[in-house]
């Protein structure tokens, strides 16, 4: 049975809470609370009720300090969850003008259907921005000998405004006879070169070699100032 992941505007984002230093306003509020506590301790008569009030004021001071120091939460893109293509190169002149949408995942070109659809985005200004989900459903994962499931985004398929498939995208760059391309792989746990979550993997192929491509997450293996181009292959 085909499994298709539903799209969500929260894809590619996670909630991040980071400690923050108290700003000028926060520092003034904390100093004011401490000053009230100090005055109360110095001048209030000693009694059971006043001791209880001191505790309450002290709790307010501590709460103000915590809020002023650790209260920054925001949505940020999760690591490697964004796939951006700019200035896509058409291999057939005029073919880009028919593209309205791009979908990504696993597409069975023989059956003509998606086995897993994981992201989609509009095609605008000769490019697109795909946001991958933070996690991948278990049913999408491919098991490995190590017992850890992996998912590779294999297909980038273009559609026109009528929902008709019109072509496919791929990225590649060749330098000094060596071919480089980017691959996005999800791992449900740390395994070998992959970390839990999405990994940006580089495929390296030697020109004229019959050996399979080498995959690496080590960016130092990629020549400096290398520009990865996205290409569009039209079905028409």
Statement: residue 30 has pLDDT above 80 = no
**Residue 172: in which H helix or E strand, if any?**
strand 165-175
Segment 158-176, tens digit of pLDDT: 999 999 999 999 999 999 9
Contact (CB, 8 A) for 159 and 103: yes
Contact (CB, 8 A) for 97 and 115: no
Which residues have CB under 8 Å from 86's CB, separation 6+?
126, 127, 230
Output the pLDDT for position 10.
40
Phi, psi (rounded to 5 degrees) for 186: -105, 135
Output the pLDDT for position 211.
84
User: Above pLDDT 90, what percent of the chain?
Assistant: 56
Output the pLDDT for position 70.
43
3-class SS of residue 148: coil
Extract the tokens encoding 82: 């964004």
* Cα first-last separation, the chain: 29
Chain centroid to Cα 218, Å, comes to 18
Mean residue pLDDT of the chain comes to 80
3-class SS of residue 67: helix
pLDDT category of residue 190 using cuts at 50, 70 and 90: very high
Output the pLDDT for position 13.
42
Statement: residue 125 has pLDDT above 70 = yes
Residue closest to 133 by CA, chosen among 123, 117, 118: 118
Statement: residue 189 has pLDDT above 70 = yes
C-alpha span between 140 and 136 (Å, rounded): 7
Segment 67-107, tens digit of pLDDT: 444 444 444 445 789 999 999 999 988 889 999 999 999 99
Show me where the domains of the chain are located.
Answer: 21-69, 79-234
pTM tops 0.85: no
Contact (CB, 8 A) for 99 and 167: yes
**Adjacent-strand bridge partners of 183:** 201
C-alpha span between 48 and 147 (Å, rounded): 63
Output the pLDDT for position 208.
74
Statement: residue 26 has pLDDT above 70 = no
């Amino acid at each position: 049975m085909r499994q298709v992941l539903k799209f969500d505007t929260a894809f590619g984002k996670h909630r991040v809470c980071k400690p923050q230093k108290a700003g000028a306003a926060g520092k003034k509020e904390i100093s004011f609370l401490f000053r009230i506590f100090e005055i109360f301790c110095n001048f209030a008569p000693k009694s059971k009720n006043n001791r209880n009030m001191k505790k309450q004021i002290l709790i307010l001071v501590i709460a103000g300090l915590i809020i002023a120091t650790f209260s920054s939460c925001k949505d940020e893109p999760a690591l490697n969850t964004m796939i951006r293509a700019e200035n896509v190169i058409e291999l057939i002149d005029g073919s880009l003008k028919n593209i309205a949408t791009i979908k990504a995942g696993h597409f069975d070109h023989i059956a003509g259907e998606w086995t897993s659809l994981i992201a989609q985005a509009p095609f605008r200004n000769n490019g697109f921005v795909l946001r991958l989900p933070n996690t991948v459903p278990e049913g999408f994962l491919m098991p490995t000998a190590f017992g850890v499931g992996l998912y590779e985004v294999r297909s980038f398929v273009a559609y026109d405004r009528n929902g008709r498939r019109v072509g496919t995208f791929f990225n590649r760059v060749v330098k000094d006879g060596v071919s480089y391309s980017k691959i996005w792989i999800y791992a449900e746990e740390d395994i070998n070169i992959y970390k839990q979550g999405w990994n940006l993997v580089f495929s390296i192929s030697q020109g004229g070699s019959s050996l399979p491509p080498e995959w690496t997450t080590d960016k130092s293996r990629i020549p400096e100032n290398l520009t990865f181009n996205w290409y569009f292959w039209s079905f028409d």
